[in-house]
């Protein structure tokens, strides 16, 4: 998987992020960097909330 170091350095996950912040960050991360998958726990939450992955 390819890492977008510039995007990652400018877009840190908020400290003590709540579930909605984590989902928002991971969706943006998925669009801009391919270094890792969205964690399964968040994928399940997104499916429950009918958020398109």
Taking only the tens of pLDDT, the chain with its 53 residues reads: 689 999 999 999 999 999 999 999 999 999 999 899 999 999 999 999 999 88
Work out how many domains the chain is built from and give that number: 1
Backbone angles phi, psi at 49, to 5 degrees: -90, 0
Confidence (pTM): 0.88
Q: Is residue 53 part of a domain?
A: no
- Calpha distance 5→44 (Å, rounded): 27
Domain span at residue 11 reads 5-48
Q: Within a domain: residue 20?
A: yes
| pLDDT attached to residue 1 | 67
The pLDDT, as a whole number, for residue 52 is 86
Token pair for 36: 């890792």
Residue 31 lies in a domain: yes
């Amino acid at each position: 998987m390819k890492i977008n170091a510039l995007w990652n350095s400018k877009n840190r996950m908020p400290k003590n992020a709540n579930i909605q912040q984590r989902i928002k960050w991971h969706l943006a991360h998925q669009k801009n960097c391919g270094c890792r998958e969205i964690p399964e726990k968040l994928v399940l939450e997104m499916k429950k909330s009918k958020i398109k992955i």
